[in-house]
């Protein structure tokens, strides 16, 4: 681990929560990203789980910078106790440049948005799953380059600052390869969008893998550049 990595990650997290228009949602995003249950966080902080719930839902006044700092430090402490997997994952992003031959576009929202908003914007058709949930970002990925050039650990970089996002794989032929690549990595996105293919042409294995990993899969025939343009021109 690079010197100061934890401190820089803590500053990134605390800054995003404090400056967000919806601090409770930003707090929930980071807690969920570290896969820490509200009760576990509350136990380590010595408070009731209902306090965490009230902060995240907005029922309680947004915590000040001191409280936010304590919550962030506690999230990092818990992760370190469990081996530091997420500190390593998100810390690497602080020191990494994205290869624009692999990642065409990546964006993290300050607070969650309904996946349906994004899927309607880029004209998606549902293949499997539900569009009733929220996401915290999206990544537009060159499917072939990601699979050929990224190791399993490097592949995790496409998740940005939160795994609760939509991965948009471009120029797919059957959809099978990106789903298999996701299958063998430790992190799973809630949504995968296959670009350049119609629902009826998707390989049958895609739906089976989506069901097994509980991933909602959508398809869009919209041009890659048009997708990126629409996403970048939207105020999320």
In this prediction, residue 9 carries a pLDDT of 86
Q: Give residue for tokens 């996002």.
A: 165
In this prediction, residue 81 carries a pLDDT of 94
Q: Any residues with CB less than 8 A from the CB of 165 and at least 6 apart, and which?
A: 108, 135, 136, 137, 138, 139, 159, 189, 190, 191
What letters, b where the CB count within 10 A reaches 16 and e where it falls short, cover 186-199?
eeebbbbbbbbbeb
Residues of the chain below pLDDT 70: 1-4, 92-99, 152-154
In this prediction, residue 159 carries a pLDDT of 81
In this prediction, residue 2 carries a pLDDT of 47
Sign of the torsion angle spanned by Cα atoms 89, 94, 96, 97: positive
In this prediction, residue 206 carries a pLDDT of 97
In this prediction, residue 1 carries a pLDDT of 45
Q: Which of 95, 139, 111, 102 is nearest to 32 (CA)?
A: 111
pLDDT per residue over 47-56, tens digit each?
999 999 999 9
In this prediction, residue 236 carries a pLDDT of 79
In this prediction, residue 198 carries a pLDDT of 95
In this prediction, residue 99 carries a pLDDT of 66
* pTM of the entire predicted model: 0.66
In this prediction, residue 131 carries a pLDDT of 94
In this prediction, residue 153 carries a pLDDT of 66
Q: Compute the distance between CA of residue 58 and CA of residue 50 in angstroms, rounded to an integer.
A: 12
């Amino acid at each position: 681990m690079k010197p100061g990595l934890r401190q820089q990650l803590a500053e990134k997290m605390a800054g995003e929560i404090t400056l967000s228009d919806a601090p409770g949602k930003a707090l929930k995003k980071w807690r969920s990203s570290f896969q820490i249950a509200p009760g576990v966080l509350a136990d380590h902080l010595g408070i009731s789980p209902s306090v965490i719930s009230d902060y995240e839902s907005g029922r309680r006044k947004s915590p000040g910078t001191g409280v936010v700092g304590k919550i962030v430090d506690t999230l990092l402490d818990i992760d370190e106790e469990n081996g530091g997997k997420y500190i390593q994952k998100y810390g690497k992003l602080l020191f990494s440049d994205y290869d624009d031959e692999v990642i065409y576009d990546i964006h993290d929202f300050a607070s969650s948005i309904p996946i349906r908003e994004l899927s309607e914007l880029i004209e998606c058709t549902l293949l499997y799953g539900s569009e009733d949930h929220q996401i915290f970002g999206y990544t537009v990925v060159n499917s072939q380059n990601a699979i050929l050039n990224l190791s399993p650990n490097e592949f995790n970089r496409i998740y940005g600052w939160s795994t609760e996002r939509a991965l948009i794989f471009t120029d797919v032929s059957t959809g099978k390869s990106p789903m298999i690549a996701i299958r063998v990595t430790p992190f799973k996105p809630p949504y995968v969008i296959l670009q350049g293919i119609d629902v009826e042409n998707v390989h049958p294995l895609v739906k089976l893998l989506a069901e097994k990993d509980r991933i909602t899969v959508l398809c869009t025939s919209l041009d890659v550049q048009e997708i990126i343009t629409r996403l970048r021109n939207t105020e999320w």
